[in-house]
Amino acid sequence: MRITKGIAVSPGVSIAPAFIFIDDSAEIPQYHITVADVQGEMDRFREASLLAKKEIEALRDHAKKEAGEEQAAIFDAHLMMLDDPELLEQIEFSLNDNLFNVESAIFSFETEMVDKLSSSADPLIQERVSDVHDVVRRILGHLIKKERISLSDIQTEIILVAKDLLPSDMVGMSRSMVRGIVTESGGRTSHAAILARAFEIPAVLGVGPDFVDQVKPGQALYVDGEKGIVAVDPDDVFIQREKAARLARVQWEKENKELREVFAQTKDGTRISLVANIEMPDEVANVVEYGAEGIGLFRSEFLFLGGHVPGEEEQCKEYTRVVQAMQGKPVIIRTLDIGGDKVLPELGAIGEKNPLLGWRAIRFCLEKTELFKTQLRAILRASIHGKVKIMFPMISTIDELIRAQGLLAEAKWECKAHGHRIDPNIETGIMIEVPSAAICADVLSRSCDFFSIGTNDLSQYTLAVDRGNQKVAYLNEPYNMAVLRLIRMTIGYGEHAHIGVSLCGEMAADPASAVLLVGMGLRTLSMSALAIPAIKRTLMSVTLEEATALAQQALSMHTSSQISALLTSKLNL
Ligand code: PEP
Ligand code: MG
């Protein structure tokens, strides 16, 4: 048995065989050829295309039988692309012109097509990008002769092991089969961690390099997402631990059911609103199950990471589903926060040197205005089914906020022009997750109705620490004084402007931090639904006076460890 330690990011314990996920999309061989090799390379291309064609035809027939003509039409489009003589001509031209192998000619073709399609103003043309990716990956799969691993195809219970996992990998995976996750990189606030918690899958991230190479497919793995422990070939002690954890979980669920009916409040009766973060609409069942009073953050971009760009109707349907399930309780839908680690090649967000400092979130939407307004119209239309609010991510200047509000006004007009009913007084808010926004929150407060503090990014940008890089995860301290000052500043500006301030970063889901934040003045905390019962219990054990005194003391301290020690000693956690 071998034990490895990593960062505990999603609670729970499980044992299952390892499934090694290696994304081979980046590994496209590239080598020089001579003119004499061109015909041989073309033959390879024809052969791989033929195999891809057979595969697509089978998929089309299956789709027609299972899902109907409309779904099958996607594959017809793929077949048309494969049969297009221009594709053959372009590959031949590229082989002769560049004298590189056929895999790299196909890769160049893909890049060129993606650039061309994604720069189109027509969303229908933009949507074709995913078709190009699909067809190209299929041909490359046959050329490179590697099986295309898809996380949606997993049929038995496994522990997913990977170097890194992108949110888009996780969105499509077959969740009920993934009993645990272990990755070499990643941190507590990386999106893989957030999704693991949302899907209630025990996860240990950041176990360090080489783990993937040391585990064989099918080897038994024990994952403890609370202690951050991974055991390869676990012995009897670990097997017993897993059994005990399963029993404890049943008891925990029973106790939480009782707590669901109780409102969150401090010992002396100050009401605190505990709302939930969700990524996918089907998480709304958990939101209700764990007794959230609303949705404080719907990360809408996850609807876009499933392989295609949803149009207005589809988005409207998904938002409405969530809003209706919440039965009048508030639902804050954050507009598309794409970019950074949430990569969407279909939309052309590719190839940046510093994606986290690049074309992300509102910056992307202010350029792709049709896509942005499509989403805004979908949200506006869903707003008549309950209490919806719109939130803009990554606002870093007042200009951005004003432009976003301008596009929202246009979207409202467009809805009206098409005869759609909307909530005309829908509230709009912004994420405070870039230091410049916290510093200028007094000015920003004049152009929006609420703030939601995003400590995941606020810490990342304040401390210059990539939230997904385990090498520097130690710098991402829970109570860094600079971050605390920015939080306090935001709360102060919000109070002064009489607008609502809440916090939806992962910090809200930590019991000790929740007390600190309430002591600093927050009355609404948004977190993964799973965390709500524990936070409720902790808040019920302190008075507001105690929390305020603790916060005052904490804010006078200079190091995270001092604050940690203070909270642990005073809170009995
Ligand atoms: C944050 O940055 O704190 C946040 C809540 O947004 P996300 O984690 O989606 O970046
Ligand atoms: Mg963020």
* CB-based contact 204:224 (threshold 8 Å): yes
Q: Which residue has the higher pLDDT, 88 or 29?
A: 88
135 pLDDT tier (thresholds 50, 70, 90) = confident
**Which atom of ligand 1 is least distant from the CA of 194?**
8
How confident is the model at residue 68, as a pLDDT?
A: 67
Characterize the bridge pairing of strands 203-205 and 220-224. Answer: unpaired
Paired tokens of 45:
């291309």
**Of the listed ranges 105-109, 285-289, 346-350, 468-472, the one predicted with least confidence:** 346-350
How confident is the model at residue 146, as a pLDDT?
A: 55
Q: Which residue has the higher pLDDT, 73 or 496?
A: 496
How confident is the model at residue 123, as a pLDDT?
A: 66
Distance separating alpha carbons of residues 8 and 30, to the nearest angstrom: 39
How confident is the model at residue 66, as a pLDDT?
A: 61
29 pLDDT tier (thresholds 50, 70, 90) = confident
Residues in contact with 351: Cβ distance below 8 Å, sequence separation at least 6, in sequence order: none
How confident is the model at residue 32, as a pLDDT?
A: 87
User: Which residue type, as a one-letter code, is found at position 557?
Assistant: M
**For range 30-53, the mean pLDDT:** 91
Paired tokens of 74:
């996607």
Output the DSSP codes for 206-244. ---TTHHHHS-TT-EEEEETTTTEEEES--HHHHHHHHH
**Which atom of ligand 1 is least distant from the CA of 452?**
5
Residues having CB closer than 6 A to ligand 1 are 194, 297, 299, 337, 433, 454-457, 504-505
* pLDDT over 80 (residue 65): no
| Residue 440 is a catalytic residue | no
* pLDDT over 80 (residue 147): no
- Each residue's pLDDT tens digit, 301-329: 999 987 688 999 999 999 999 999 999 99
- DSSP code, position 335: P
**Of the listed ranges 121-135, 244-258, 304-318, the one predicted with least confidence:** 121-135
* CB-based contact 109:90 (threshold 8 Å): yes
How confident is the model at residue 127, as a pLDDT?
A: 64
Q: Is 452 left (phi over 0), alpha (psi -120 to 50) or beta?
A: beta
Distance separating alpha carbons of residues 254 and 148, to the nearest angstrom: 42
Characterize the bridge pairing of strands 427-432 and 203-205. Answer: unpaired
* pLDDT over 70 (residue 153): yes
How confident is the model at residue 58, as a pLDDT?
A: 79
* CB-based contact 183:163 (threshold 8 Å): yes
| Residue 504 is a catalytic residue | yes
409 pLDDT tier (thresholds 50, 70, 90) = very high
**Active-site hit among 365, 415, 440, 504:** 504
* pLDDT over 90 (residue 64): no
149 pLDDT tier (thresholds 50, 70, 90) = low
The half-sphere exposure of 297 on its side-chain side, counting CA atoms within 13 A, is: 32
How confident is the model at residue 67, as a pLDDT?
A: 60
* CB-based contact 509:533 (threshold 8 Å): no
116 pLDDT tier (thresholds 50, 70, 90) = confident
Distance separating alpha carbons of residues 200 and 528, to the nearest angstrom: 10
The CB density around residue 156, as the number of other CB atoms within 10 Å, is 10
Q: Which residue has the higher pLDDT, 52 or 179?
A: 179
Most confident of 97-111, 248-262, 377-391: 377-391
* pLDDT over 80 (residue 439): yes
Strands of 13-21's sheet in order across:
2-5, 229-232, 220-224, 13-21, 158-162, 178-183, 203-205, 7-10
Most confident of 149-158, 179-188, 441-450: 441-450
- Each residue's pLDDT tens digit, 541-570: 999 999 999 999 999 999 999 999 999 999
Mutate to test the pocket of ligand 1, among 341, 456, 486 (most ligand atoms within 8 A of CB): 456
**Closest listed ligand to the CA of 342:** 1
How confident is the model at residue 26, as a pLDDT?
A: 55
Distance separating alpha carbons of residues 390 and 380, to the nearest angstrom: 9
Q: Which helix (H) or strand (E) holds 432?
A: strand 427-432
- Each residue's pLDDT tens digit, 504-515: 999 999 999 999
* pLDDT over 80 (residue 28): no
**For range 273-301, the mean pLDDT:** 95
How confident is the model at residue 482, as a pLDDT?
A: 98
User: 455 alpha carbon to ligand 1 midpoint, in Å?
Assistant: 7
Residue nearest to atom 4 of ligand 1 (CA): 454
Distance separating alpha carbons of residues 344 and 318, to the nearest angstrom: 20
**Which atom of ligand 1 is least distant from the CA of 277?**
5
How confident is the model at residue 348, as a pLDDT?
A: 59
* pLDDT over 90 (residue 77): no
Strand partners, 501: 451
Distance separating alpha carbons of residues 502 and 496, to the nearest angstrom: 15
Paired tokens of 264:
């969150």
1 pLDDT tier (thresholds 50, 70, 90) = confident
Mean pLDDT for all residues in the chain? 91
* pLDDT over 60 (residue 530): yes
The CB density around residue 455, as the number of other CB atoms within 10 Å, is 25
Q: Which residue has the higher pLDDT, 60 or 472?
A: 472
**Active-site hit among 78, 191, 316, 365:** 191
* Tokens 């003391």 -> residue: 553
Residue nearest to atom 8 of ligand 1 (CA): 456
- DSSP code, position 134: H
* CB-based contact 136:57 (threshold 8 Å): no
**Which atom of ligand 1 is least distant from the CA of 505?**
3
How confident is the model at residue 538, as a pLDDT?
A: 96
- Each residue's pLDDT tens digit, 180-199: 999 999 888 888 899 899 89
**Of the listed ranges 159-168, 459-468, 487-496, the one predicted with least confidence:** 159-168
* Tokens 């039988």 -> residue: 65
